[in-house]
Structure 1
Amino acid sequence: MSLTAALLIVFIIIVCLQLVFYTSFLVAFVSNKPRPNKKNNIALSVIICAKNEAKNLSENLPHILNQNYPSFEVVLVNDSSTDDSLKIMKSFEALHGNVKVVDVQPNEAFWGNKKYALTLGIKASVNDFLVFTDADCKPITNNWLLSLSSHFSNEKSIVLGYGGYTKKKKSLLNQLIRFETVLTALQYFSYALLGQPYMGVGRNLAYRKELFFNNSGFSQHMGLMSGDDDLFINSVATGANTTVCMDPSSFALSKPKTTFKAWILQKRRHIATAKYYKPIHRFLLGLFYLTQLLFWLMIPISTVILDKQALVLLLIALRFCLQLVAFGYAAKTFDERKLIFLAPLLEVFLVILQFVIFIVNLISKPRHWK
């Protein structure tokens, strides 16, 4: 077999695998039929862990406290802040009877570990149904809690929500962050819908307290800096106990990073935790990224060197078309339509950056969550 023939076969396999992935994502999203929110009338505990977030707390807590929901408390966890975060928390506690402040003092054994602070917040909560978000995050409607809680049932004890980022005009970084967020959501929602949930995002996540304590909380990965959301869900979620909430009224928005340096540090933490996922999830996520990377690397080779140019161009066109349809469906669902036709360009940037981050993480690892 000639080298060009072997390369052609490899390229065909890569494209076919990409087509399988995007077809699966599309089928999962299309098959998920929206349902009206039902009132569960269950008491909720909203837990927000903050470290030096005074400004964000002042801006976003009113959106939490003004929720159209009959019974909920807000547990504010101050994780050894050095700014006015604790002062802001206590001012809200003084004005609202359903606000509780947990002040976490520095602990040498758990310094810089968000999971320790979150565990104390969970222990302080009084309700069995927990909702998690971040201090720099706010729900886009007053029915956020109603929408999330309506997905709990006797069988479903985990609800995965969508946490997006605010838009900024004429910013490549902002578009890249939002593209990566939608692409990640396309994957973790799809896997959950297909019975293989592997992660959630702490900006918008809900689960039962008994699930947390029955699985020893974060003890399996307490020594890792990140993973309070994705690693915990990866370890306890199953197709039977997990559901998704993609109702627009349940969405929450965060402020994105404003510099590449800050965003790359954030992505370094996220990528570093992926190696602790279950083997099946590591394999599927790794295969998806590897075929992405190889697809882009082989495009110039396949179009210039390989024979059967018509077949090569057809495969490239099929892959791009299916990607745009699947990503477009997710982008429409999450109100990110303007990203659809930028997807190929943004994907190139993201694939390159992820590769660089992977290499950098092999050399050194970030140590603290903030």
Structure 2
Amino acid sequence: MGLFLLWFLFGIGIFIQIIYLLVIFGRTAFYKLPKSGGSTADEEAVTVVVPAHNEYKNLKVLIPKLFEQDYPKYDVLVINDRSTDRTKRLLEEMMAIYPRLRSVTVKYTPSHVTSKKYALTLGIKVAKSDVILLTDADCIPASDQWIRKMTQPVRTQDKVFSIGYSGYERVSGFLNKWIQFETLKTGLYYLSFALWKAPFMGVGRNLCYRRSFFMEVKAFKGIWHIEGGDDDLFVNRYATGKNTAVVIDPEANTLSKPKENWKEYKVQKKRHLHAGKYYRGEDKRKIGFYALSHALFWIGGLGLLIYFGLEGNWERFLIVFGIILVRSFLLLGIFTSASKKINGSKVPANILINDFLYLGYFWVLGSVSHQSKDIQWK
């Protein structure tokens, strides 16, 4: 009975894994990059919105980068959210240098709402343009074509949402290798399902939508009280296969500074994973089926290897090991191809090791985040 159960778990796991890797993640891995379109004389104006809380050092780098963009009609709006550092003085100095830079200062946050959503709402309300392009203060555009490419579906294809990818700088150390892997995996989830006309999330570090739609649905109505979710929960509520487009292009990415220690990373991921608690049921299942099949695959596979190894049944041991090996090569191939399409770069290191470690990450940290009540933005 125990042997049958192990085979059953292993079989179900590998079956679902192959479906996800080839049919779903394959949409990103085998995606054909569109031909670059030229500029037009009547390109719609864009407002780049940057929420910032004590981001003096990051804004000092970001703001000049934003004004290197090759796009004719745009302004930059920085939302100074209760900053106590030199952010205000920096913005005043920068506005004297860059006429298209504006700022909004948030002095307090009402008790019934979360700080970042409140700050974003105040900023978006006074944005000059209907096309809003969001990023964070610790991000920089990957190229001078970022505005043009990220906003193109909203400006020219009558889309409400344009979902992009935001990666992290590569530095040495195991934590960074893990961040690269987990970020690429998350990107595979939401980009692939959006390509399948079933979008369920986006990241606020690289997200575009129309201000008029934001105001029409009354901003973050229904999710004001949830810390985080200003990006993924907003997309989860309102994005559809018809009103949403995906932008997969290395030139349309943003690049963020990675967390430098496990404590900061844990705070960040708890916030991200906690928001998933409020996804629609069907979207929870999109993530859950992969995570469950991933666990069944490894539990069943390792269980069979141990069983046949102890029995000395090396023929069946090699069959199971061969199946695991095939799935590993398939995973590596999909991730390698997807990384080239998304980032224009090689796949992150330690993919196969991190794939195994993902078991603990998802089930342990995910469970803790689901129950946590100490979620915070800053």
TM class by smaller structure: over 0.9
Residue 160 of structure 1 pairs with residue 173 of structure 2: no
Equivalent position of 1:102 in the other structure: 104
Distance in structure 2 (CA, Å) of the matches to 1:279 and 1:359: 17
Match of 1:337 among 319, 339, 346: 346
Distance 1:110 1:145 in 2: 34
For 2:239, the aligned partner's letter is A
- 1:273-288 to structure 2, matched below 5 A, reads 273-288=275-290
Give SS of 2:369's match: helix
How far the C-alpha of 1:364 sits from its partner, in A, is 3.0
Q: Choose 200-209 or 284-293, whichever is displaced more.
A: 284-293
Number of residues paired by the alignment?
367
Q: Distance in 1 between matches of 2:337 and 2:253?
A: 16
Q: Please give the alpha-carbon distance, in whole angstroms, between the structure 2 residues aligned to 1:158 and 1:37.
A: 19
Equivalent of 1:301, from 281, 293, 303? 303
Against the structure 1 CA distance between its residues 239 and 51, is the aligned structure 2 distance closer, same or farther, given a 3 Å change threshold? same
C-alpha contact (below 8 Å) 1:46/1:75 kept by paired residues: yes
Query: Structure 1's 121 and 110: CA in aligned 2 closer, same or farther, altered over 3 A?
Result: farther
- Structure 1, gaps ≥5 residues long: none
Partner of 1:19: 18
2:302 and 2:151 map into 1 onto residues whose CA distance is 49
Verify the 8 A CA contact 1:26 1:329 in the aligned structure 2: no
The 8 Å contact of residues 32 and 193 in structure 1, kept in 2 or not, is answered as: no
Q: Could you tell me whether the CA contact under 8 Å between 2:21 and 2:334 is conserved in 1?
A: yes
Q: CA deviation at 1:108?
A: 3.6
Task: Work out whether residues 74 and 98 of structure 1, in 8 Å CA contact, stay in contact via their aligned partners in 2.
Answer: yes
- Residue identity matched to 1:67: Q
Greater Cα offset, 127-136 or 106-115: 106-115
**Which whole-Å CA distance do the structure 1 matches of 2:357 and 2:84 have between them?**
36
Contact 1:161/1:246 (<8 A) preserved: yes
Contact 2:165/2:254 (<8 A) preserved: yes
- Superposition map of 1:26-45 within 5 A: 26-29=25-28, 30-39=30-39, 41-45=43-47
Q: Distance in 2 between matches of 1:266 and 1:247?
A: 26
TM-score by length of 1: 0.94
Q: Distance in 2 between matches of 1:179 and 1:90?
A: 39
The alpha-carbon deviation at position 366 of structure 1 amounts to 2.5
| Distance across 2 between alignment mates of 1:326 and 1:204 | 23
Whole-Å separation in 2 of the counterparts to 1:330 and 1:276:
28
Aligned to 1:369: 377
17-26 vs 70-79, which deviates more?
17-26
Taking the TM superposition and a 5 Å limit, the aligned residue runs for 1:204-215 are: 204-215=206-217
Over 3 Å counting, the alpha-carbon distance change for 1:110 and 1:135 in structure 2 is: farther
Q: Is 1:142 equivalent to 2:147 in the alignment?
A: no
SS, match of residue 219 in structure 1: coil
Q: Structure 1 residues 290, 350: closer, same or farther in 2, change over 3 A?
A: same
- Deviation by residue 1:230-286 (Cα, 9 ceiling, x = unmatched): 000111111111111112211110100000010011000010010211111101101
1:305-316 → structure 2 map (5 Å cutoff): 305=307, 308-316=316-324
1:206-355 to 2 correspondences below 5 Å: 206-305=208-307, 308-333=316-341, 334-339=343-348, 342-355=350-363
3-state DSSP of counterpart to 1:220: coil
Per mean C-alpha deviation after superposition, the further-off stretch among 328-337 and 123-132 is 328-337
Unaligned 5+ segments in structure 2 are none
SS at match of 2:331: helix
**Residue type of the partner of 1:34?**
P
Q: Is the 8 A contact 2:114 2:224 kept in 1?
A: no
SS of 2:34's equivalent in the other structure is: coil
- Most deviating of 289-298 and 244-253: 289-298
Matched residues in 2 for 1:204 and 1:362: separation? 25
Map Cα deviations across residues 154-190 of structure 1 (whole Å, 9 max, x no partner). 4322111111100102x10011001111111111110
Q: Which stretch shifts more, 178-187 or 316-325?
A: 316-325
Q: Which amino acid aligns with 1:236?
A: Y
Matched with 2:7 is 8
User: Offset at 1:6?
Assistant: 2.5
The 3-state SS of whatever aligns with 2:149 is helix
Q: 2:136, 2:204 within 8 Å by CA — same for their partners in 1?
A: yes
**In 2, Cα distance between equivalents of 1:338 and 1:81:** 37
Counterpart Cα distance in 1 of 2:197 and 2:224: 27
1:5 corresponds to which letter in structure 2? F
> Using the alignment, how far apart are the partners of 2:179 and 2:139 within structure 1?
15
Superposition misfits of 4+ residues, deviation over 4 angstroms: none
Q: How far apart are the structure 2 equivalents of 1:296 and 1:62?
A: 48
160, 185, 188: which is aligned to 1:186?
Answer: 188
Q: Which deviates the most, 229-238 or 245-254?
A: 245-254
- Tell me if structure 2 keeps the 8 A contact 1:42–1:149: no
Structure 1 vs Structure 2 CA RMSD: 1.8
**Percent pairwise identity:** 33
Structure 1 pair 295/174, CA: closer, same or farther in 2 (3 Å)? same
